[in-house]
Amino acid sequence: MAAPMELSCWGGDWGLPSLHPESLTVMAYAKFSGAPLTVNTINNSWRAPKGDLPVLVSEDIVISQPAKILNFLRKQKYNADYDLSAKQGADTLAYIALLEEKLLPALLHTFWIEAENYCSVTKPWFASKIAFPLSLYLPGKMSREALNRILLTKGGPPLYSLTEVEAQIYRDAKECLNLLSKRLGTSQFFFGDTPTTLDAFVFGFLAPIYKVCFPRVQLQEHLKQLPNLCRFCDDILTCYFRLTVSGHSPAGQDTADANLQKLTQLVNKESNLIEKMDDNLRKSPQHPPRKLTTLKLAAGGEESSPMSRLSP
């Protein structure tokens, strides 16, 4: 009898089983391959066995990172790529590399760096899923990690300013979406009528861009001009996750928006309270202020972005 397998991942909203691209990728692959995973919504990466999500646990084996999780599932005979040729396997690796190089930076920027999106949607949503006081810290930590990941690949010459980096990120992402749309064409999936690893990765990257309601939506607007990619996401949600393509009813969406607005106000109040407490401590005679070198992050207002330090 096969050992039970439990997948820990971030939860979902806006008609998605998860808002986290990497969690979505693994969940989709499990559906495609028939892997009997028990999905455990953690909504707090510090509770994960390796401090990161998604995480797969099977008896005493703990695996993180989508590529490693998918390899483990293949070894357990859950292989969504069984019928692919060698060339199709090579194409899969090439397109996954394209997604990570061209689309991922813009996806991270949309969620975690774009100030209006971060403050009004990303930060309050994740804060609402995390217990206080970690709710005041973890979203900012995740934002800084996203920024570092962007800078690792995009923060070098000849891009020296924040504006140049952002412009290049979105140019690359739109080019990637166009290539994916051309490759998919009128097919149901990227290699015909059966979903594979590539479909899982593309779905994991595209679905959050397509479904989450952000105030700044330039990448979403471009995606919605490519109807075959939108249909691709809708079909997977409907057929494999039993979710309606609309996500919320109009009344439900109004309630969700109202709740999100309340959460935003609550998180901002808590953040202001912490800042006032810190200010009082700094002014206290027995606690003289210390000058610390910190990075300010443009996205959340908590710390300003090292992207602004790209200029020589």
Q: Tell the residue number behind the tokens 């990303």, with chain if given.
A: 122
Residue 18 burial (CB < 10 Å; 0-12/13-18/19+)?
A: buried
Residue 133: asked if its preceding bond is cis (omega within 30°), the reply is yes
Confidence at residue 47, expressed as pLDDT on a 0 to 100 scale: 59
DSSP 266: H
Q: How far apart are the first and last CA of the chain?
A: 61
Residue pair 44/78 in contact (Cβ under 8 Å)? The answer is no
In order of start, what are the domains of the chain with their CATH numbers? 5-75 (3.40.30.10), 86-240 (1.20.1050.10)
- pLDDT for the residue 21: 95
Evaluated on CA atoms 235, 188, 19, 34, the torsion sign reads positive
pLDDT given at position 269: 52
Give the pLDDT score at 181. 98
Structure tokens at 42: 């953690």
Chain segment 106-118, per-residue pLDDT in tens = 999 999 999 999 9
pTM, two decimals, is 0.77
Asked if 229 and 206 touch (Cβ cutoff 8 Å), the reply is yes
Residue 283 has a pLDDT of 47
- Residue 135: the pLDDT is 83
The span from the CA of 163 to the CA of 160, in Å, is 9
Give the per-residue pLDDT at 288: 40
Residues 6+ apart with CB under 8 A from 95: 180, 183, 190, 198, 201, 202
* Distance between CA atoms of residues 248 and 184, nearest Å: 28
What are the per-10-residue average pLDDT scores of the chain (312 residues)?
A: 85 93 97 94 63 86 94 96 95 97 95 94 89 84 88 68 84 97 97 97 98 93 98 97 54 44 52 49 42 38 39 39
